[in-house]
Amino acid sequence: MAGNPASGYAATQDLHDAALPIFNLEKVELRFAISSDLVAAQVANNVLVLALSTGRVLRIDLDSPSDIDDIDLPKKSSEIGVIRRMFLDPSASHLIITTTLGDNYYLHTQSRQPKALSRLKGVVIESISWNPSQPTASTREILVGAADGNVYEVYIEPSTEFYRREEKYLKGVYKTSEGTVTGIWTDLIPGRPDFRRVLVATQGKLLHFVGRIGRHGSEGSGSIFSKLFETEAPTVHEISRGSGATPSMLSVSPDQRDVPFPDGTGSERAFAWLSSQGVFHGKLLLAPELADLGSKVYAASRLLPRSLVPPSQSAGGRNKTTEEPIHSMILTQWHVLCLVEGRVVAINREDDTVVYDQVVLEPSQSAVGLVADQKKNTFWLFTKQEIFEIVVNDESRDIWKIMLKSRQFEAASQYAKTPAQKDAVATASGDYLVSKNQYMEAAAVYGRSSKPFEQVALTFIDQGEQDALRKYLLTKLSTFKKTSVMQRVMLTSWLVEIYMAKLNSLDDTITTKAELAEGMNTADTKDQLSAIRREYQDFVTKYKADLNRKTTYEIISSHGREEELLFFAKVINDYNYVLAYWVQRENWPETLAILQKQTDPEVFYRYSSVLVAHVGGEFVDIMMRQANLNPRKLIPALLNYNKITSVPINQNQAVRYLLFCINQHHSTDAAVHNTLLSMYASHPSNDESALLFYLETQSQAHEQNYDADFALRLCIQHKRVQSCVHIYSAMSQYASAVDLALKYDDVELAAIVADRPDSDAALRKKLWLKVAKKVIAQSTGIKAAIEFLKRCELLRIEDLIPFFPDFVVIDDFKEEICDALEEYSRHIDSLKREMDESARTATHIKSDIKALDQRYAIVEPGERCYICRLPLLSRQFFVFPCQHAFHSDCLGRRVVEQAGVGKSRRIRELQVEVGKGIVAGARRERAVRELDALVASACVLCGDVAVKQIDEPFVLPSDDRGEWAL
């Protein structure tokens, strides 16, 4: 079988080439020879069914052309007649075959054996309306139109049981008065599952039924269409009867595929009724109420008369003047395909233009008919010996032109595909709307067109349509790319100017209580003002990146629009501008409200001086919630605040913030600490408690983050004596601290400082002597001075006597002198006892030394050296109190190995001197004693040397490992 692009096999042409005609006729070559003439043919869901005059039925899957089912009817043609017509449902699941003798057969897609429909025997079927649910297991409820004018409802369910009928039921539901039912169609009503629409066509009438169907307990248990036909009266479209031989048929457009729907329904089909007058066609509308649906459908439909079909050319080239009959007709998405005297003619349903006229058949040939595949949108022409496919090439390519010509601009815009087409539609639509004074609608359309910008803008300006101009500019702005920076900046700036003028105009109207437009009152004007303000805010938020900051500020400021100005600044995050604006107007609540939302430290640094001076408490509250501020940069503002304020120290906001930085953020910055210290020291109050508390806290934390020299100078300058003394003490300059305290006659403070160097008794006594001198000089009574000085146990009466004046009577401190003398006597007695004890100890030591000369050790015969294991008595040896004995030479070598470098060298030198007789006499004896002292000072096995070598292994690499083996 030859290829067909629409059917899924090899294509020979590019169907998307715009140069191709919309329709193209291609002959389909079969892979097998047709042995007899075709009498009927159907195509559905890419399945081709052919009926031959011999009674055979061929079922071919076009997706797999080699797969052919060859089916024979159960009886010979002599008994049942030849096949007259076939009806294939859109899913290609069910096939009904009728014969010339009134027999009807049913064939399911899964079966190869047609079953006779006994209940339909004798019924001459002319049309079938398949169930819109498109079943596969059963036909469900279908409507059958007969030649006698009856409409039957039948439910066919395939069965494998021999005696069971295929039809579950058959019931006549309607009878026309016009004879043959030439076409019938059933449709669903969206959103109303219990409603159906039924079209019934006869030779002279087209009937439109719509209504509720009946429901039964189980599917297939009874008729559902009886109720509709009994209760609903049809809407009828009637024509004058022509000759009975005139073809009549009903066709419905295929399923919509990738086609936009300007009316928004997305599911409306087109219908066409072929009658003696021509083709009556329209849309199967869904929108109106059900009661008016039929009349609405017919009112929106129109007749394509037979006179519009061009006549065929005679052999001599002359035009025929008689109208040629239309033998067959089907619908595509946008065209009516007609078979006229061997020609295929395609007529556009929108403007009745003929787009295709092709002679197909020879004068001697006759056609079986035109067939449409509802599912796959393919179209076919069958003759007795040939099959043609009518290939559709971009059928909707020119629909936009037709819609545009009929001023259906919205539909034209949706069907326009290329930018040039869309632009043409937009331009024409805008011009039309302007001519109708519909400026707002025109603005939106012009914005999508390429009509010169200045022409459109001047049109709206000349007409005073500022609102339309605003809408046009907004639409135009949305079409520019991000790279068109200059154009976007110009448009956004112009729009800001328009918004400001509009807002001012509305404000003036409300103020003067004038009417802005006809029919608008003050309340309406206020609502419009709010709407325009919201629109402006949305515009600024959306296009903030395109607005030039300086230009926009100037435009809004020139119109005096404070609220809009501040909104723009907030949108672009220019909080410096907003803060500067409110600060200049000294509107502190608004300033603080903006500041609470900021996290940029630079904002706080910039406005800290003025804010801490006017709203110090609130400003410090906000700063304390910021974690990224550098306190060092806020010091100038805090110092300025401290200079101009005169509040108590516990209400000073600068001190409060610095304490927060130190205590909460644990700041160690010397600048912060020095600033706090300077504020404490320079405060006019005489109370030093806060400053002292700070200094003590630093000391307790063992920190000194402030500059001690700077702090000392400040405290001296402002006469903060206690603080100075504390700083001196912290610097361990106790003498200076005592001197300063005594300078300001603070003896108690001096005494406290004098007690601090408790580890240095001499210094402590020296400090107390200074205190004593001051106390004695200030004291009016010697007794009181003596009592005060008793606090230091280091002071003696003799230390204090030089400080007393010459005229002091000794009786005043006689008791103290006596106590001192008694103390000295006790001390002398104690020293005597210590001396006696030392003499006794020396005597004991001497006796012990003499006893050492009497010590001895017993060496048993056969005892060996602990180093070389040879008999000990063989040569000179040493015996230690621990009973370890060594030859003197063995011991010497071991000591040399274990001793340090210096000691080892000295032992070798002495051994050489003694062994070789280099020295003699007393000198040799001294050398021997020194050598013995070095070698035999301690046992090498249990003495100090052995203890230091505890980490050495028991088994050395030089030892025999076998001795230690287990």
| pLDDT confidence of residue 210 | 93
Give me the helices (H) in 51-149, please.
Answer: 77-80
Domains of the chain, residue spans: 398-469, 480-575, 872-955
**Can you tell me the distance from the alpha carbon of 816 to that of 789, in angstroms, rounded to the nearest whole number?**
12
Residues 29-51: pLDDT tens digits?
776 667 678 899 999 999 999 99
β-sheet bridge partners, residue 930: none
| pLDDT confidence of residue 699 | 79
CA-wise closest residue to 43 among 62, 22, 23, 68? 62
Give me the helices (H) in 192-327, please.
Answer: 226-231, 293-299
| pLDDT confidence of residue 329 | 93
Extract the tokens encoding 432.
Answer: 């039309």
**Can you tell me the distance from the alpha carbon of 706 to that of 689, in angstroms, rounded to the nearest whole number?**
18
Instruction: Match 């030198």 to its residue by tokens.
Output: 909
DSSP state string for 198-221:
EEEE-SSEEEEEEEEPP--SSTTS
CA torsion 253→255→259→265, rounded to 10°? 90
CA-wise closest residue to 328 among 272, 253, 384? 272
**Can you tell me the distance from the alpha carbon of 415 to that of 428, in angstroms, rounded to the nearest whole number?**
15
Spell out, as residue ranges, where the chain has pLDDT lower than 50: 1-18, 260-266, 315-320, 516-518
**Can you tell me the distance from the alpha carbon of 32 to that of 437, in angstroms, rounded to the nearest whole number?**
67
Radius of gyration of the chain (CA): 61
| pLDDT confidence of residue 615 | 87
| pLDDT confidence of residue 7 | 33
Burial (CB count <10 Å: 0-12, 13-18, 19+), residue 745: exposed
β-sheet bridge partners, residue 125: 146
For residue 81, give the 3-state DSSP assignment: coil
| pLDDT confidence of residue 126 | 94
Task: Find the helix packing angle between 670-682 and 631-644, rounded to 10°.
Answer: 10
Residues 702-742: pLDDT tens digits?
778 888 888 888 888 888 877 787 777 777 777 777 777 77
| pLDDT confidence of residue 85 | 93
Q: Tell me, what amino acid is at 884?
A: H
| pLDDT confidence of residue 759 | 66
| pLDDT confidence of residue 920 | 76
End-to-end CA distance of the chain: 101
Q: Give Cα 79 distance to the centre of its chain.
A: 76
**Can you tell me the distance from the alpha carbon of 372 to that of 252, in angstroms, rounded to the nearest whole number?**
9
The model scores a pTM over 0.75: no
